[in-house]
Every structure is written in structure tokens, then in C-alpha cells.
Amino acid sequence: MKLKDKVCIVTGAARGIGEGIARRFVAEGARVAIADLDLGAASETAKRLTATGPGSAFGVAMNVTDEDAVNAGVAAVVAKWGGVDVLVSNAGIQIVDKIEDYAFKDWKKLLAIHLDGAFLTTKACIPHMYRQKSGSVILMGSVHSKEASPLKSAYVTAKHGLLGLARVISKEGAEHGVRANVICPGFVKTPLVEKQIPEQAKELGISEDEVVDRIMLGETVDKEFTTIEDVAEVALLFAAFPTNALTGQSLVVSHGWHMD
């Protein structure tokens, strides 16, 4: 088992990609905190994952934009399990609109969840990692950390920003044995993406099939969606890598949509 007894915090893990990463970690023996907005949903997911074993999970209420809530959530994990080995900052939303119509409050909300969330959870976890002289911080980027698409000004800005944050964490964390890396998935069919298909069709004046074929999968090598399991496998690589050699990096998992 690659993560036996490792303490992992995955934000936005009640469903979607975060849940898939938590599931993969539990399968490798980890103890995983399912941190999400709604404690009920987080606890339900934790119960399901614990039943699959051999690791275990528990739910933690955490709005990643709220510093007190982040600090309290991380403190609860440390009180229960004694430290933090892996942070996956995954919570995220999508809001699509043309720049001229993009509400400033939506811009601020999206940047807060992706960027403030990554910063606050890292800030709360890193002292525990420094104390034990090891840790892995994984930020959930996107192909949109490397590419731009119309209608996604805030998302593309936030996802590019995470690359910078991961590089700084790598430089500051190195002497403490802490690594930081970014996962950059292509389109994965989760509620976040299902919601965009009709929205983009309406904004761009095309059919939903065209949104999938042309906008979402048009640049892939095989017209396939990336899966939650694909992304979870990359998360496991970053979480379990044994040395500081793999730090400050971003890995694109997108069926060749973006090639570095």
C-alpha cells in the first residue's frame, strides 16, 4: 500500500474528482479527511469510502474561503490523527460568461474558492508538515492552467495562478521536506462539467453535442473525456512520490488536449 496510515485532507471531496481521489487514497491505506461545505454530504461520502477500506475516511465541514473554518477543519484532523501528510486542494466551481457580462461578484467568488482556498488550506497544513519534515501539497489545476477558452476569464486566471503558488510552496517547502505539484486535467464528466454543457451551448449559440465534440473534446487525440480515475492516479503519484525530485511541477492528464 502506497499511503498506509498517511493523513490526507482532500477539499471538495464530497463528490466528483475529490471523492475519486479520496477513494484512491483509501484504497492505498490512507486516512482521509473529506472536507466539503456540507458536513452531511462529506460524512456520507466518508462512510461509503471507509466501507471500501483498507484505509478510512471522516467528514469535515469546511468552506475553503473562510480562514476560521479552514483552520478549525485542519485542527480537527490533526487532533484526530496527529498530523497532515498530504493536502489536496481540489474544491472548485465554474462560472461561464463573456468578460463584458461577467458579474464582478462572480469573478470574486470564483477566485476566492480556487485561489484563497488553495492559499488558506496550504497555510493551515504546512506548519504540521514542516514539524514532521515531510509533506505533499497537491493543487487541482486544469488544462486551463495552460490554455485559455472563451467565457472562462476567472477560471483561467485562477488556474494559471495555482501554478505560481505551487512553485513558491516548492521553493519555501524544500528545506522542510515539503513538495508541491499541480494536476491539470482535461474535461472530466462531473456535475461541474455537466452544468456547463447547456450553458455554453446557449452562450455560443451551438448545440450541446457541438459543445462536447468541438469545445470540450475537439483538441484531444481520441475524443475521449478524462476520467475521475485518471486524475486520481496522478494524485496518487504526487502524494506517494518518495523524494523531493518531483516538486514544482504540473502534470497534464487530458487525452492530449494540451501537450507541454
Which positions are catalytic? 155
Contact 167, 211 (CB under 8 A): no
Cα–Cα distance between 46 and 60 in angstroms, integer?
9
Rounded to a whole number of angstroms, the minimum distance from the CB of residue 174 to ligand NAD is: 25
Rounded to a whole number of angstroms, the minimum distance from the CB of residue 231 to ligand NAD is: 8
Which residues fall within 8 angstroms of residue 224, CB to CB, at 6 or more apart?
217, 255
CB neighbour burial string for 159-170, b if at least 16 within 10 angstroms, e if fewer: bbbbbebbbebb
Q: How many helices (H) and strands (E) does the chain have?
A: 9, 7
Nearest-CA neighbor of 98 among 153, 154, 151?
Answer: 151
Residues in the chain: 260
Q: Is the peptide bond before 54 cis (omega within 30 degrees of 0)?
A: yes
Looking at the Cβ atoms of 30 and 60, the one nearer to ligand NAD is 60
Rounded to a whole number of angstroms, the minimum distance from the CB of residue 223 to ligand NAD is: 15
Rounded to a whole number of angstroms, the minimum distance from the CB of residue 6 to ligand NAD is: 21
Cα–Cα distance between 185 and 106 in angstroms, integer?
23
Looking at the Cβ atoms of 91 and 95, the one nearer to ligand NAD is 91
Q: Cell for 258?
A: 494540451
Residues facing 7 on adjacent strands: 31
Helix-strand-coil split of the chain, %, nearest 5: 50, 15, 30
- Residue 88 one-letter amino acid: V
Looking at the Cβ atoms of 136 and 190, the one nearer to ligand NAD is 190
Looking at the Cβ atoms of 136 and 145, the one nearer to ligand NAD is 145
Rounded to a whole number of angstroms, the minimum distance from the CB of residue 136 to ligand NAD is: 17
Q: What angle do CA 27, 32, 38 make, to 5 degrees?
A: 125
Sign of CA dihedral 147, 87, 66, 194: positive
Looking at the Cβ atoms of 29 and 150, the one nearer to ligand NAD is 150
Binding site for ligand NAD (CB under 6 A): 11-12, 14-18, 36-37, 62-65, 90-93, 113, 140, 142, 185, 187-188, 190-193
Rounded to a whole number of angstroms, the minimum distance from the CB of residue 192 to ligand NAD is: 3
Looking at the Cβ atoms of 106 and 177, the one nearer to ligand NAD is 106
